[in-house]
Amino acid sequence: MANKNEIFSGVKVKHGGLFVFKDFYKTMYGWLEKKSYDWKELEYIDKQLPSGDKKVEISWEANKKVDDYTKFTLTIDFNATFSEKEIEQNDKKKKMDDGAVEIKLGAFIITDYEDNWDKSPISKFIREIYDKYIIKGRLSKQEDDLYAEGMAFVEEIKTHLNLFKYWSSEKFKYYA
């Protein structure tokens, strides 16, 4: 059976104010694609609330094979509640979303993800020795790499959402 080692979980990024949901979605998808992750959408719920706001809940799982024995897994859950607003920028009208978005991330290293070492009790024992003594240094480096990669994803999200820090959701004018 594959071994799942948690590197971090429950890392959250929250944003309230103006953003463009479609661009935000594309930014996250683009980052995963650029870093060679295969991802699947486990859940996508899109509802219209009685208030007129839109609520979107999405869960992703992204995997990247590091080698024949190890793979990285990122879990990404994001919830957004927003309404579309029209704002003025440089005397032009632009549609943006005004609301809140929250992203929760987790990062895991999966070893023996193809279950090659679980065929007998002796191979399980050999796998434990292999993990603890033979590739311990390599696994430690991979844990560091995954942590850095996960935090880079968090920074990408923050950078994207921070693009809108000069927008005022009260006046819908651009302040530069």
Position 165 scores a pLDDT of 55
- Dihedral over alpha carbons 135, 138, 30, 45 (to 10 degrees): 50
Stretches where the chain sits below pLDDT 50 are 166-176
Position 107 scores a pLDDT of 97
Do residues 40 and 109 make contact, with C-beta atoms less than 8 angstroms apart?
A: no
The domain limits of the chain are: 3-162
- For the stretch 6-26, pLDDT in tens is 999 999 999 998 899 999 999
Cβ atoms within 10 Å, residue 10: 8
